Structure 1
Amino acid sequence: MAEIAVAFALGQVFQILNDETNLLGGIHKDFSNIRDELESIQAFLKDADRKAADEANTNHGIRTWVKQVREASFRIEDIIDEYLRVIHVVPHLGCEASICKITSLIKTSISRHQIATKIQDIKLSISVIKERSERYKFQPSQEPPSSSSTRMGSLFIEETEIVGFKLPRDELVGWLLKGTEERTVISVVGMGGLGKTTLAKHVFDSEKVKGHFDYRACITVSQSYSVRGLFIEMIKQFCREAKDPLPEMLHEMDEKSLISEARQYLQHKRIIITTRMMHVAEFFKKSFPVHILSLQLLPPDKAWELFCKKAFRFELHGQCPALLEGMSNEIVRKCKGLPLAIVAIGGLLSTKSKTVFEWQKVNQNLNLELQRNAHLTSITKILSLSYDDLPYYLKPCILYFGIYPQDYSINHNRLTRQWIAEGFVQSDGRRTSEQIADEYLSELIYRSLVQVSTVGFEGKVKSCQVHDILHEMIVRKLKDLCFCHFVHGGDESATSGTTRRLSVDISSNNVLKSTNYTHIRAIHVFGKGGLLELFTGLLSSKSRVLKVLDLHGTSLNYISGNLGNLFHLRYLNLRGTKVQVLPKSLGKLQNLETLDIRDTLVHELPSEINMLKKLRHLLAFHRNYEARYSLLGFTTGVLMEKGIKNLTSLLKLCYVEVDHGGIDLIQEMKFLWQLSKLGLRRVRREYGNAICASVVEMKHLESLDITAIGEDEIIDLNPISSLPQLQRLKLKTRLEKMPNWISKLEFLVEIRLGLSNLKDDLLRSVENLPNLLKLGIWDNAYGGEILHFQSGGFPKLKELYLARLNRVNSVLIDKGSLLSLEYFIIAKIPHLKKLSSGIKALDNLKVIDFRDMSTELVESIDPKKGQDYEIINHVPQVLIRHWIGPKLNDFDIRSIH
């Protein structure tokens, strides 16, 4: 972790040397010297970090040295942030310029002198640290030791102990015994502890496979492997199997000769590899056929079977006694289907007395047992291998999952924006920080460290989490590395000066008052309770380097007026709180990149927000789930003043109620040319031309949402010439005709129309869009009686929503239409009494959801007496909902299937 700290400190030093051309006299040279010293230290840090983290290493001097390097790096970050705050100080709003100038000059002079003194102190301490490193003889960039010992046990598991592998085993054997006569790679991919090696060895030893191949080799590749060593071992095994003599001078051969020898045996053969990294499996695709088996966590029944096999293997006939069932089920649930955890914990319990007291003790202290019990340390060792193998820039990203509570599914955008705010992600000049952060997350998923929780209809990750046992390992690392301090309801411990982050699960005022905020860079509060208003006021007055403040879903009622003191704040999340007003001092947050006030009570933004030139994400709306649905009343945006043209860094802006600022406000939006998402509400007819003129300047726009001020307001959007990157389009307004440019949107994946009152041209204008996956026709978007899906139309559509169409009495689906449809929702179409027989041909349909539909239609699909039941008989899930109020989602639900 010292390696990470130094890397970030170096990054900041490089940044300030590049950006700040007018550094104080002498400071430029001091920072240059610090950079040089850090670079020389950095070469040895991987080896030093490894030795410090090795529990078997009792050399406390090494751990102390690594700790000192980390703390020096933290001090460098702090001093750079303090320097930037001083030289970019913003005068207090509303005071006289001359007074401000004199006061600021005095304060700045004192602060700069203090900064210069601190820099000299840091230079001296780093020099001492560098000299001290020589006595420990660190090796530059040395790889971690072999991990083969932690995997060796997987090669010797008896067949009777294997559970849940029948289907993947049969699939692997099928791939091995069938197929074309060319070299083929079969990859078994999954997170550490899933049993990849066990499965592969089980297949390797099966009689079917033995009888099919002339020779076989089983090789374990450690993290510290050598290519020569692998080839030599492979050739030895092949020769033994084929009863061939070993090649002469085998150990003296160069790599080219070894490859030639191995190729003789591998030509037209099958190869199985197991890996935690999906990109390793996909790498071989460029050379020959590849089969990929993604091994999954065990389902509950198989997890229980495996647990009982291990815990009661030699007694009680392998069955769990009734008095231990409840406790055992709880333990198995904590393992979350991870075979390694189930086997290890079951093995531990097999050595314990079969009493509730003994098992409860293990269950309650499972986290502690993972650290100290010899039966369980193999779990954390194997999971740690994946962490140790990460490049330095991904390590803080995976550690960030530990800040969130266990089993917490984290929104993709929330997580990556926090990484960016913390400085974990650096733009390369070609791609945005958001795009690079997405790649970081993808890499963690490909490495099987992060699990995808939910996926959007277009295949993009919406939320993710880590396995609970991996979470435990991460939390221990967070504490050891001073990455994060955890504050619980009864925890009175104050933070140390090296703590960089706080994770607060229940707001405890005593703890928050005792905290030293000077060095805190990120604060995350979870749950409700506590007087957070006092906390935010105290934080704003004391914190100097805070970059992330996440109060999502807390009981916060208002924000302190001195919020603007948090000069370095980059990410502010108030979503789901009861905050009603943002203070004017918000305009002093010159580094703010994300402001999330969704589902708060804020309806008007202070004009000072237009001073935030680095703001990238302005997310501001409230949705009313407490009442029955109303298209125009469900979502409320915010009011903004003119001056929005200054926010030239904005990427996302939603939703603005534009009737407040009018045409002048809309015309200013043409300067927001970087926007990728724009949401406008309460749009009037006379704004049409101004909207079109501004939108066409947004060459990167991917999402556009426009809602009229009234149901009969006609907005003409036809003047828009082209939106080449548009992926999502939502129009809730009357349209005289469908805009011509919509049918040319080749990247469009979603379109939702409401109130448009269009006739025959509605479906014809969008049915041939090549990438359309989701279509919503809502609230009288269609003014005809027959909605006709013709053959060949909507070839890729996965989700179809038809809702509140008062004139429609027939929905026709021709054979050959909607061939990819998976989800079909039909809601409150009062005159629709009968279903189209074309639904029978929709072979991919998974769900039909009927909401507030007529009694005649519901009775027609009744399994016992409905004449049209055969139309939906093939659909796995058919739901019937009736709204019972008063809230939006208060439905009475029954399932036919």
Structure 2
Amino acid sequence: MEGIIFSLTEGAVRSLLCKLGSLLSQESWLVQGVHGDMQYIKDELESMNAFLRTLTTSEGHDDQVRTWMKQVREISYDAEDCIDEFIHHLGDPSGMGFLRQLICIPGTLVCRRRISIQLQELKVRARDVGERRSRYGVVLLRTVRRGGSRQLSKHASLHLDPQLHALFTEEAQMVGIDEPRDALVSWLMEDDPRLRVLAIVGFGGLGKTTLARMVCESPMIKGADFQCSPLFIVSQTFNIRTLFQHMIRELIQRPQKAMAIAGGKHGHLTEENFKRIERYIMILDDIWTISAWESIRCALPENKKGSRVIVTTRNEDVAKTCCSHPQDWIYKIQRLSDATSRELFFKKIFGSADKLPTDEFEEEVSNSILKKYGGLPLAIESIGSLLASKINRSKQEWQKVCDNLGSELESNPTLEGTKQVLTLSYDDLPYHLKACFLYLSIFPENYVIKRGPLVRRWITEGFVSQRHGLSMEQVAESYFDEFVARSIVQPMRIDWNGKVRSCRVHDIMLEVIVSKSLEENFASFLWDNTSLLVSHDKIRRLSIHSSHKLVQTTSVSVSHVRSFTMSASVEEVPFFFPQLQLLRVLDMQGCSYLSISTLECICRFFQLKYLSLGNTKVCKLPRLLGNLKLLETLDIRATLVKKLPASAKNLSCMKHLLFGHKEQLTRTASVKYLKPCSGVEMSPGVVKNMAALQSLVHIMVKEQSLGLREIGLLQRLRKLNVLFRNVEVNWKAFVESLGKLASSLRSLSIHILDEKEHNSSLDILAYVESPPLLLTNFSLTGKLKSLPPWISSLQNVSRFTVRKTQLHAKAIEVLGDLPNLLYLKLYHNSYVDDCIVFCRGKFTRLCMLVIDNLENTDTVHFEEGSVPNLERLTLSFLREPKDGISGLQNLQKLREIEFFGSIILSVMNKVVSCVKTHPNHPRVIGDKWNIVTEYA
């Protein structure tokens, strides 16, 4: 827990120290007046921060330490708010004229006097907190690490490992385990003399330990000539020497013993012990880190006797390290199906899966619980046991449990094991990730969290630390990937290169995170019952999940809220919205009730850095938008906004300008359509001051636009999406800008609209003198006689999309030689020949191919040896190809053929018939406007 507090506190202190240091270096007369107070607060917080860092190396912190940490954090937040207000009123005196200075001085003096009083109060608070540490004995306990290895404290050694309960689950209660158990047993029993490692990986509570134990207890394993089959529990804190001493004892001295816990003193580790080991099978349960595995693996005997090691872990990176040889296997354990979840649930409540709820109400409550916690055996078993323990199984009692599962998880002993197992994943996070993970509590249940917005919000909140050689976005994305690798969040949409684009948090894990967020005053919540959940007199982050009208009263102060998130289901903007003067993050995505007065109010939030109004009915941004001088992200995708106000030129801190409206035409989002009304027009002079801009997505360039040359000034620009209309006179400026951005651009999308009427062409791209050769994503819409010659030099491009380009076979050959191309999307009118052939040796890494409504196509053919890694083929036809689709049998890794749009059944039936003899048995599905039908 103290790691959580430290993560939040250290982040708050670090942010403040940077601002104080910057201010103290100025010689402004305004700063000089409060210089002493600022310097005192800075010195105190630096000392506190050093002490905080030392605290992370000690363990067993009591309530005094945790309370002191929270007090430091609150002082840091309040001091930062004060400093931010001071900076806001300080402005830039050097740029003020003499007359303006005279006019502003009286008001500035009043502001300085008020802020000076606040700083003096903070100075006293900082001194008191420092003295309180000594007065109440906030001291360091002994450190955890000695000599590079983690030691078990007395407290830890007496603590019952929450994994243990899984070992004693009654076999009669187990469901859904037979099929995976038999598959793993068969693999383990294969005739192979090499040491083979099986890693079972998955989310906490899915039953990894139970499955591993059942594998070792199967008759085939027990009947084999393994010397022994022990189970070793490797907890988060283990001593490697003690672990091996105990393993030797179990493997040799007492081979019949089935379970042991590392941690005691059991003799000595000798070379002779290893020589006596023959064929063995062992389980190393709950491996948390790569270093832990490497410490164990280097000492495991490799005697070519067919030994087996089973590892369970929550971390995919650990599993990959454990299974680094071709003979090893990673098994990803899956959630229980709905039917199996119900079977387990009713077994726990009624003692038999055959006995069902007696009335409609019990059935309703059961369905509600299973919808929330279904698929997670540990949670189902615990909640089932809780309901079974209720002597009075009345409707009121069941409903009470269902409505208060969050609080039950906190206080009910029956659910303690579940809470501990889920909390282990969270507690194991390094301190710099804990605040990022707590941030997930602000999203409602079942919410699909998109990667891009989440990492941008983390950065805005100050949770991301700078690393040498990496951008803040790259560091934040590594945080997201680590959550995925640790199986803490569930991937929802995964690109075919393995990159997770969105995720969700399991409902029961979300309960744990919300509980911790409230405990640490990280976030506060307004739920459907209109009750405000808050644990402190000052709210720092507020999330409204209500689907009803809000209660328009609250006694809690909201003037210190830094982050405000309002669910799309909220029917009105709260009355206290104008009070949120210190907001850094504002997310009102999907909200339908945004009035002009609300938008104008936003322009007074001078600290705002992140603003999302996407998917709303907003049609015009306020004239004073430029007042948000610290704004870094403006997301107005899927709105009716057509133009930025002239004041946007003052947004000099802007990093991400996101416009446009894409519609997903398939459930997998493999096919998207950019609506013609997309794009926001940029007035001349708007972007030239945005030197930090990284993303400029879907801007509209119309005739006589002067903004194209300004784009070339954005030397940090990584993503550029441009829509052209009536643009012949602007091509030269655009080509020059592309040449200036050659070293920074990674994603480029160019769309020409109304090209038939105005006869525009993309052929001008051939004349780019310094082409953007570092592109990873490239999309073109518009006429193109042939691909620009530099396309063949795009060694890094992984996505290539064309629409209305009218290309020929030669272009397909060029694209087929791109070494890292993973996605190819050939949309409507992108290819005009009647035959499209994928030749042998081409598209060697391509894993997804989209062919959409190619009007002239009579033949689609895949030669033997072509597209060897293709896994998904997505197709749509305006008419049936005369010669059909041939060569599907040559696509050895094909897993899915997806038809979308207006599906032609005759084409579908021929493909279904063809894949029946395919060695990989790919499935064939039809996705007609997101209504999916499976055909094979």
TM-score (norm 1): 0.87
* Change in 2 beyond 3 A, CA 1:487/1:251: closer
How far has the Cα of 1:646 moved from its partner? Answer: 1.7
SS at match of 2:367: helix
Match of 2:767 in 1: 719
Whether 1:550 and 2:594 are equivalent positions in the alignment is no
Tell me which moved more, 630-639 or 90-99.
90-99
Is contact 2:538–2:557 with CA below 8 Å preserved after alignment? no
CA distance in structure 1 between the aligned counterparts of 2:93 and 2:494, rounded to whole angstroms: 43
Match of 1:680 in 2: 722
Match of 1:214 in 2: 227
Whether 1:523 and 2:564 are equivalent positions in the alignment is yes
CA distance in structure 2 between the aligned counterparts of 1:348 and 1:881, rounded to whole angstroms: 42
Match of 2:521 in 1: 482
Match of 1:573 in 2: 612
How far has the Cα of 1:731 moved from its partner? Answer: 0.9
Is contact 1:69–1:129 with CA below 8 Å preserved after alignment? no
Find 1:162's aligned residue among 171, 174, 186.
174
> 5 Å matches for 1:656-667?
656-659=699-702, 662=705, 664-667=706-709
- Aligned residue type for 1:376: L
How far has the Cα of 1:317 moved from its partner? Answer: 6.0
CA-to-aligned-CA distance 1:141-174 (integer Å, 9 cap, x gap): 6977355432222222233332222333234334
Match of 1:131 in 2: 134
SS at match of 1:756: coil
Find 1:710's aligned residue among 744, 751, 754.
754
Find 1:612's aligned residue among 628, 635, 651.
651
* Change in 2 beyond 3 A, CA 1:217/1:490: closer
* Change in 2 beyond 3 A, CA 1:349/1:531: closer
Is contact 2:829–2:853 with CA below 8 Å preserved after alignment? yes
Tell me the percent identity: 29
Whether 1:637 and 2:680 are equivalent positions in the alignment is yes
Is contact 2:895–2:923 with CA below 8 Å preserved after alignment? no
Match of 2:45 in 1: 34
Match of 1:55 in 2: none
Tell me which moved more, 595-604 or 28-37.
28-37
Find 2:633's aligned residue among 594, 599, 603.
594
Is contact 1:799–1:822 with CA below 8 Å preserved after alignment? yes
CA-to-aligned-CA distance 1:567-617 (integer Å, 9 cap, x gap): 221111000111122223322222211110001111100222222222111
Whether 1:807 and 2:850 are equivalent positions in the alignment is no
- Aligned residue type for 1:655: H
Tell me which moved more, 419-428 or 132-141.
132-141
The total of aligned residue pairs comes to 860
Match of 2:296 in 1: none
CA distance in structure 2 between the aligned counterparts of 1:550 and 1:544, rounded to whole angstroms: 15
CA distance in structure 1 between the aligned counterparts of 2:84 and 2:59, rounded to whole angstroms: 27
Is contact 2:747–2:778 with CA below 8 Å preserved after alignment? yes
CA-to-aligned-CA distance 1:415-450 (integer Å, 9 cap, x gap): 111111111002224111111111111112222211
Match of 2:116 in 1: 113
Match of 1:43 in 2: 54
Is contact 1:734–1:756 with CA below 8 Å preserved after alignment? yes
Gaps of 5+ in 1: 53-60, 245-249, 883-888
RMSD (Å), alpha carbons:
3.6
Match of 1:885 in 2: none
Whether 1:329 and 2:341 are equivalent positions in the alignment is no
SS at match of 2:162: helix
Tell me which moved more, 123-132 or 462-471.
123-132
CA-to-aligned-CA distance 1:843-875 (integer Å, 9 cap, x gap): 51512315336xxx644655xxx7x86345567
Find 1:847's aligned residue among 884, 894, 897.
897
Whether 1:499 and 2:539 are equivalent positions in the alignment is yes
Match of 2:164 in 1: 152
Is contact 2:199–2:323 with CA below 8 Å preserved after alignment? no
SS at match of 1:758: coil
CA distance in structure 2 between the aligned counterparts of 1:114 and 1:184, rounded to whole angstroms: 69
Match of 1:886 in 2: none
CA distance in structure 2 between the aligned counterparts of 1:428 and 1:63, rounded to whole angstroms: 29
* Change in 2 beyond 3 A, CA 1:660/1:575: farther
Find 1:349's aligned residue among 372, 378, 387.
387
CA-to-aligned-CA distance 1:29-50 (integer Å, 9 cap, x gap): 5412321133225533686885
How far has the Cα of 1:544 moved from its partner? Answer: 4.0
How far has the Cα of 1:83 moved from its partner? Answer: 4.0
- Aligned residue type for 2:715: W
Is contact 1:196–1:295 with CA below 8 Å preserved after alignment? yes
CA distance in structure 2 between the aligned counterparts of 1:807 and 1:93, rounded to whole angstroms: 66
CA distance in structure 2 between the aligned counterparts of 1:826 and 1:135, rounded to whole angstroms: 66
TM-score (norm 2): 0.84
* Change in 2 beyond 3 A, CA 1:733/1:861: closer
> 5 Å matches for 1:26-425?
26=36, 27-44=38-55, 51-52=62-63, 64-65=67-68, 67-88=70-91, 97-98=100-101, 101-102=104-105, 105-134=108-137, 138-139=141-142, 145=156, 148-178=160-190, 180-210=192-222, 211-241=224-254, 261=273, 265=277, 266-268=300-302, 269-284=307-322, 290-313=328-351, 324-352=362-390, 357=395, 358-425=397-464
CA distance in structure 2 between the aligned counterparts of 1:806 and 1:797, rounded to whole angstroms: 24
Is contact 2:59–2:144 with CA below 8 Å preserved after alignment? no
CA distance in structure 2 between the aligned counterparts of 1:647 and 1:259, rounded to whole angstroms: 66
> 5 Å matches for 1:869-884?
870-871=913-914, 873=916, 877-878=923-924
CA-to-aligned-CA distance 1:84-136 (integer Å, 9 cap, x gap): 43444699999984466435643453244234313422322222232134167
* Change in 2 beyond 3 A, CA 1:485/1:66: same
Gaps of 5+ in 2: 146-152, 258-263, 278-299, 666-671
Tell me which moved more, 487-496 or 159-168.
487-496
Is contact 2:249–2:266 with CA below 8 Å preserved after alignment? no
- Aligned residue type for 1:710: D
* Change in 2 beyond 3 A, CA 1:137/1:261: same
* Change in 2 beyond 3 A, CA 1:881/1:28: closer
- Aligned residue type for 2:74: E
Is contact 1:793–1:818 with CA below 8 Å preserved after alignment? yes
Is contact 2:199–2:322 with CA below 8 Å preserved after alignment? no
CA distance in structure 1 between the aligned counterparts of 2:168 and 2:912, rounded to whole angstroms: 54
Find 2:690's aligned residue among 647, 656, 675.
647
Match of 1:430 in 2: 469
* Change in 2 beyond 3 A, CA 1:562/1:180: same
- Aligned residue type for 1:383: L
Is contact 1:526–1:551 with CA below 8 Å preserved after alignment? yes
* Change in 2 beyond 3 A, CA 1:672/1:259: farther
CA distance in structure 1 between the aligned counterparts of 2:634 and 2:879, rounded to whole angstroms: 42
CA distance in structure 1 between the aligned counterparts of 2:663 and 2:251, rounded to whole angstroms: 69
CA distance in structure 1 between the aligned counterparts of 2:879 and 2:478, rounded to whole angstroms: 47
CA distance in structure 2 between the aligned counterparts of 1:95 and 1:333, rounded to whole angstroms: 67
Is contact 1:593–1:616 with CA below 8 Å preserved after alignment? yes
* Change in 2 beyond 3 A, CA 1:416/1:94: farther
SS at match of 1:672: coil
CA distance in structure 2 between the aligned counterparts of 1:94 and 1:19, rounded to whole angstroms: 24
- Aligned residue type for 1:704: L
